Structure 1
Amino acid sequence: MLVYHLPGTFDTRDAHLDLLWSAGATGLEERAGVIRAYFDDQTDLPAPVADGEWRQEADQDWLAEFKATLRPVTAGRVTIVPPWLTHEVPAGQVPLIIEPGMAFGTGHHATTRMAVEALSQLDLSGLGVLDVGTGSGVLAIAATLLGAEHALGVDIDPQTIPIAQENAEINGVPAGRAVFVEGTLGSDLPEHTAPDATYDVLVANLYAELHDLLAGEYAAHLRPGGPLILTGILTGKLPLVQDALAREAFADVTVRHNGEWALVTARAPQ
């Protein structure tokens, strides 16, 4: 089995995954900050991912091994679980079923877990939630399962949209209650989810530089005083996000740490 080992960071991970898939990888997983890409044959890789190491490893059913070690993730009132482990969801927990594409989008990453925990601490009954950088749709789906009237997931990657929609269907979210679109906050968002273009809650799992760039858009898309939940922030870049929120007059800024990652919550300007 030919495996390419590439150290990665949250900032570069998605771009590296796309490049490895395009180069012919047959499977991808992440272990302790290292992307493992499975190939049938060694191939020339583009510069951004060319500093890894090729290794010949013993043949194994890597997907079966991955599934065997995957466990449910408890995040506040929600338990994120693959379809074959729904029987392990504790009584009283809200199950969020995600068919994992290896380790990505499963809820095991600290950033996803912290964001779901933050959502579960809110009373979302009847509210509209905007999920920026939705990916597999975990946060938007979690919001609807926690009582939100509707959720909109936005992502610049068109490949994520059908995946998020399928995940919503797996979780029994009624059509139209969770909507996923390709786009950015600077583009027109579907009017039927928020007629006045503002939302009651905004959650975004992006890296710090994007939070800095989008802070003004966050303020524009949140109702006055609405909760903001930001994650995907390396602790070393936390001041960049805090300065951006101060610049836009967000209030009640709090920070939670989990290892090298931080989650920031705040309230939109009144």
Structure 2
Amino acid sequence: MNYWQYSFRPLGQEQREVFVAQLSMIGFEGFEEAGDTLHAFIPEQDLNEAALNELLSEGLEVSRKLIPPTNWNAEWEKDFEPVIVHDFASIRAHFHAPIPNVQHEVIITPKMSFGTGHHATTFMMIDYMRSIDLNNKTVLDFGTGTGVLAILAEKLGAKEIVAIDNDDWSIDNAKENIEVNACKKIELLKADSLHLGRTFDVILANINKNVLLVNMTGIRQHLQDGGVVIMSGLLSGDRKDIEAAVVKEMLKVDDQKDRQNWIALQISGKP
């Protein structure tokens, strides 16, 4: 299918991070940074020009061109770099050489995911995972995407993982990555919301503010007493609204990590 490539400039680093999050919410699927310019890609049939115009600020230069059907995997492979979280974990594609001196390695091929924009949230989620005990725990990965967090949870000793997402592409991609990493304890489900009828020791949710707010009651209902929630996909200014929803559900924000204008939160349930 055809894609629109929109180019926006000038944008500083902080402006780009905010703009990527906003564009993601109206259907843009990929982003590339080039100096003070952000290139953003959206399927031709998904473009909502009215929604886009609401995001544009005065002084922002905008141009676009129509991109014919493209091998996005090849485009992604040209620029993708492994994600390395201290000496704890690395996330690499199959075409990268193994990363030395890390405790855990996850191999993924996120089809149709190219460019930058999400590494900061993934980094913080993984950084939190190294500090919580997942051994013999039950884990829910809400919004699994490529399956990376579910895969890492199994490598960290979780006894049972349920990974859910709401689109077919993510389910297919996660299934492939789960198989590549030889995981045996992950149940993959397609779902739009949380209605699983059970609870978990740990809930991982790397999504975005709006989805988290809508599903906060479901998150609480699926959390064991004394359990832990790690969530990200949040901009620095999102904490106030998220924390209000957390408190309303009788949960508590225990800790926050910050990276490149994104935040991740560690949340606890009742003891």
Provide the TM-score with structure 1 as the length reference.
0.77
Q: What do residues 227-260 of structure 1 show as CA deviations (whole Å, max 9, x unaligned)?
A: 1101011111210011111112213521111121
Identity of aligned residues (%): 27
Is 2:83–2:91's contact at 8 Å kept on the other side of the alignment? yes
Tell me, yes or no, if structure 1 residue 258 matches structure 2 residue 266: no
Q: Which residue does 1:84 correspond to in 2?
A: 95
Q: Which residue does 1:160 correspond to in 2?
A: 170
Distance in 2 separating the partners of 1:262 and 1:251:
16
Q: Which residue does 1:16 correspond to in 2?
A: 27
Q: How many residues end up aligned between the 2 structures?
A: 246
Question: CA offset at residue 48 of structure 1?
Answer: 5.3
- Correspondence for 1:180 among 188, 198, 201: 188
Q: What do residues 53-106 of structure 1 show as CA deviations (whole Å, max 9, x unaligned)?
A: 22599xxx986564344322112521000111142x123431100113354599
Q: How does 1:134-213 map to 2 (within 5 A)?
A: 134-174=144-184, 177-188=185-196, 197-213=198-214
Which amino acid counterpart does residue 235 of structure 1 have in structure 2?
Answer: S
Is 1:132–1:153's contact at 8 Å kept on the other side of the alignment? yes
Distance in 2 separating the partners of 1:43 and 1:183:
24
Which amino acid counterpart does residue 127 of structure 1 have in structure 2?
Answer: K
Q: Which residue does 1:75 correspond to in 2?
A: 85
What SS is found at the alignment partner of 1:236? helix
Question: CA offset at residue 123 of structure 1?
Answer: 1.9
* RMSD, aligned CA: 3.3
Distance in 2 separating the partners of 1:106 and 1:150:
31
Distance in 1 separating the partners of 2:211 and 2:45:
33
Q: What do residues 96-140 of structure 1 show as CA deviations (whole Å, max 9, x unaligned)?
A: 001133545999521111111111222211111101111111111
Higher relative contact order (CA 8 A, sep 6+): 2
Identify if the C-alpha distance between structure 1 residues 225 and 68 changes in structure 2 by more than 3 Å, giving closer, same or farther.
same
Identify if the C-alpha distance between structure 1 residues 35 and 130 changes in structure 2 by more than 3 Å, giving closer, same or farther.
farther
Is 2:27–2:46's contact at 8 Å kept on the other side of the alignment? no
Which runs of 5 or more structure 2 residues have no equivalent in the other structure? Answer: 9-18, 54-61
Q: Which residue does 1:244 correspond to in 2?
A: 245
Q: Which residue does 2:15 correspond to in 1?
A: none
Provide the TM-score with structure 2 as the length reference.
0.77
Q: Which residue does 2:269 correspond to in 1?
A: 268
What SS is found at the alignment partner of 2:231? strand
Is 1:78–1:94's contact at 8 Å kept on the other side of the alignment? yes
Distance in 1 separating the partners of 2:223 and 2:160:
14
Which amino acid counterpart does residue 221 of structure 2 have in structure 1?
Answer: A
Distance in 2 separating the partners of 1:182 and 1:43:
24
Distance in 1 separating the partners of 2:150 and 2:73:
27
What SS is found at the alignment partner of 2:263? strand
Structure 1 stretch displaced more, 100-109 or 207-216? 100-109
Question: CA offset at residue 211 of structure 1?
Answer: 2.0
Tell me, yes or no, if structure 1 residue 226 matches structure 2 residue 246: no
Q: Which residue does 1:54 correspond to in 2?
A: 64
Q: Which residue does 2:124 correspond to in 1?
A: 114
Is 2:138–2:159's contact at 8 Å kept on the other side of the alignment? yes
Distance in 1 separating the partners of 2:82 and 2:158:
23
Q: What do residues 124-176 of structure 1 show as CA deviations (whole Å, max 9, x unaligned)?
A: 111111011111111111111221112111112232111111110011112xx
What SS is found at the alignment partner of 1:16? coil
Question: CA offset at residue 183 of structure 1?
Answer: 1.0
Choose between structure 1 and 2: higher strand proportion: 2
